[in-house]
């Protein structure tokens, strides 16, 4: 039997340690490289942080598998067993430009089911976390389950790019949604934005293209609170697949799906594993 409380305790300890190393790096020169294009950044700290977790997980839990953005983990082809899905820095552009609004994001799954989740806001030393069946928390404070909310009172996390011509969605689909809600926000870290939905500071988050490490933790936390995390067409998310992501408190998810997303068609994305 997997001892989830023990994994929870040790992961929190590792997060604090990794966070401290990242904060120390603020005063040092970063090595910045680009990946798929000139805005797709990666730094030595993204790589070091992923390796930091992988070394510790492999030593402590040799039978667990790891899926990490920077590619130091395992080749994952199925959801059997325990899988750690790790984004060592979610919001690398923010990290490089602003030294704030970035997180370490970790979702841990067993046979495809979300068990533990962590979104650690490194600059503010704030942890959003959840354990399946035991609740979701902002630091030590337990978060209440979602209540109902009118769409006109909602704040939606949405990047302006999806309101311009793009390959993933007819941008006209989202314009009526933007006009119907109280406001939109974009913070540049998908995981942090999902954490903000969990706390109720935002009510929904939409992205047309995310990888499993971007949404793994946020999905577990929001579902623990009774919210929904799906693709924009309502289909379930998979940690083996890059896809659109639509996450919200349940009633808001339903209202947005019915009123604004019925014309959306999801086109399968290139396998995220082929990028490396």
Binding-site positions for Mg(2+) read: 69, 87, 89-90, 214
Nearer to ligand IPD, 115 or 242 (CB): 242
Q: How many residues does the chain have?
A: 276
Strands 103-110 and 82-90: antiparallel
Within its chain, how far is the Cα of 160 from the centroid? 18
- Indicate whether 203 belongs to the interface with Ca ion (CB under 5 A): no
Pair 241, 132: CB distance under 8 Å = no
Residue from 214, 223, 224, 251 touching Ca ion (CB under 5 A): that is 214
- Indicate whether 69 belongs to the interface with Ca ion (CB under 5 A): yes
- Indicate whether 251 belongs to the interface with ligand IPD (CB under 6 A): no
Pair 188, 100: CB distance under 8 Å = no
Residue from 11, 43, 132, 159 touching ligand IPD (CB under 6 A): that is 159
Per-residue contact string for residues 82-121; x = within reach of ligand IPD by CB under 6 A: -----x-xxxx-----------------------------
- Indicate whether 47 belongs to the interface with ligand IPD (CB under 6 A): no
Per-residue contact string for residues 177-216; x = within reach of ligand IPD by CB under 6 A: -----------xxx----------------x--x---x--
- Minimum distance between the CB of residue 40 and ligand IPD, rounded to whole angstroms? 7
- Map tokens 């798929």 to a residue: 36
Q: Which of residues 211-240 bind ligand IPD (CB under 6 A)?
A: 214
Question: Nearest-5° angle of CA 169, CA 167, CA 164?
Answer: 65
Residues 6+ apart with CB under 8 A from 76: 65, 67, 83, 239, 240, 273
Q: Compute the distance between CA of residue 22 and CA of residue 104 in angstroms, rounded to an integer.
A: 10
- Minimum distance between the CB of residue 207 and ligand IPD, rounded to whole angstroms? 6
Cα-based distances in Å from 133 to 82, 83, 193 = 17, 18, 22
Residues 6+ apart with CB under 8 A from 64: 57, 81, 82, 83, 84
- Indicate whether 193 belongs to the interface with Ca ion (CB under 5 A): no
Q: Would you tell me which residues interact with ligand IPD (CB under 6 A)? A: 69, 87, 89-92, 159, 188-190, 207, 210, 214
């Amino acid at each position: 039997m997997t001892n989830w409380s023990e994994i929870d305790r040790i992961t929190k300890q590792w997060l604090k340690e990794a966070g401290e190393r990242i904060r120390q790096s603020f005063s040092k020169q970063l090595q910045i490289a680009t990946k798929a294009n000139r805005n797709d950044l990666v730094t030595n700290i993204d790589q070091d942080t992923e390796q930091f977790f992988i070394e510790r997980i492999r030593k402590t839990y040799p039978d667990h598998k790891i899926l990490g953005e920077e590619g130091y983990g395992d080749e994952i082809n199925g959801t059997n067993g325990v899988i750690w899905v790790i984004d060592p820095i979610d919001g690398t552009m923010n990290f490089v430009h602003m030294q704030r609004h970035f997180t370490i994001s970790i979702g841990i799954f067993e046979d495809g089911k979300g068990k533990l989740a962590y979104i650690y806001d490194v600059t503010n030393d704030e942890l959003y976390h959840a354990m399946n069946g035991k609740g979701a928390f902002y630091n030590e404070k337990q978060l209440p389950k979602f209540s109902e909310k009118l769409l006109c009172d909602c704040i939606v996390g949405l990047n302006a790019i999806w309101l311009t011509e793009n390959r993933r969605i007819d941008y006209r689909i989202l314009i009526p949604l933007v006009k119907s809600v109280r406001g939109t926000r974009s913070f540049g870290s998908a995981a942090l934005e999902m954490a903000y939905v969990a706390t109720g500071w935002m009510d929904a988050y939409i992205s047309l293209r995310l990888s499993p490490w971007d949404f793994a933790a946020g999905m577990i936390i929001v579902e623990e609170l009774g919210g929904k995390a799906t693709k924009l067409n309502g289909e379930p998310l998979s940690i083996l697949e890059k896809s659109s992501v639509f996450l919200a408190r349940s009633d808001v998810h339903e209202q947005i799906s019915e009123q604004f997303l019925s014309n959306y068609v999801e086109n399968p994305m290139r396998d995220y594993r082929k990028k490396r």
